[in-house]
Copies of this chain bind each other. A is one copy, B any other.
């Protein structure tokens, strides 16, 4: 499994437009692609970024989706007003609060 963390930078007045575009591309095309596992769309509190965190079965599955001509017009439109910094990752380690902490499962 691989994780894509793609950071888009925008002028804050364009943040909602980018959120709408990426939500539409993901809902209509990306999540239907073979090997898609899950995605979460984030808006930055300061208005300047929109970040998509997505999990894929393999690098090949992600690259096949990116080569699909169907969602391409949406991605191209996004790049007319946003900068795109992609990142392809593997998970190194996850962290939880210590057991018994006020935020841990034992007291909630």
Contact A38 B90 (CB under 8 A): no
Choose among B5, B34, B39 the residue that contacts A53 (Cβ–Cβ < 8 A).
B5
Choose among B26, B44, B93, B103 the residue that contacts A37 (Cβ–Cβ < 8 A).
B103
Choose among B30, B43, B46, B91 the residue that contacts A41 (Cβ–Cβ < 8 A).
B91
Q: State the copy count for this chain.
A: 2
Contact B2 A92 (CB under 8 A): no
Interface size for A (C-beta < 8 A) is: 45
Q: How far is the CA of A89 from the CA of B15 in the complex (A)?
A: 12
Further 20 A-B residue pairs, CB within 8 A, beyond A7-B87, A36-B103: A5-B7, A5-B42, A23-B92, A23-B93, A30-B95, A31-B95, A32-B98, A32-B101, A36-B97, A37-B103, A38-B95, A41-B95, A42-B91, A43-B90, A43-B92, A44-B88, A45-B88, A45-B90, A49-B89, A51-B89
